[in-house]
Amino acid sequence: MKKLIAAVVVVALVFLAIWTVPYWTHGSREVTVTGVDHKILRQGDKVKDVYLVFTTDETYKNVDSPAYLKFNSSDIQGKLIQTGRFRISYYGFRMPIFSMYKNITKAEKVD
């Protein structure tokens, strides 16, 4: 019985680690923003705003994130409408097969 409990705990910890990996992978870089887009996703009764940020290197998303205490995605998107060079902070990773994007947490215009 102890082995079964230990196995269940290990499996639960592995799933928890996999589920939270995007929150561990953070970084910052300078990018050239070439455009932005706003998508509204509807899943049943839930509606979610997703802002996309297109750069010369890759595409990022810009959504609120309680885990990072980020609730200003609209304000950040307002800055990014002015295309050009930005220093961004982000977390996550890009997985095209699952439509996953790195999420921007901060953006500052670079002169």
DSSP string, 41-65: EEETTEEEEEEEEEESS-EEEE--B
Structure tokens at 87: 């220093």
pLDDT of residue 44 exceeding 90:
no
Structural domain boundaries in the chain = 2-109
Q: Find out whether 55 and 34 touch, Cβ atoms under 8 Å.
A: yes
Q: Which residue has the higher pLDDT, 21 or 78?
A: 78
2-109 to CATH, choices 1.10.3470, 3.90.120, 2.40.50, 1.10.4190: 2.40.50
CB atoms within 10 A of CB 108: 13
Banded model confidence at residue 3, pLDDT cuts 50, 70, 90: confident
pLDDT of residue 40 exceeding 80:
yes
9-39, pLDDT tens digit by residue? 888 888 777 666 666 778 999 999 999 999 9
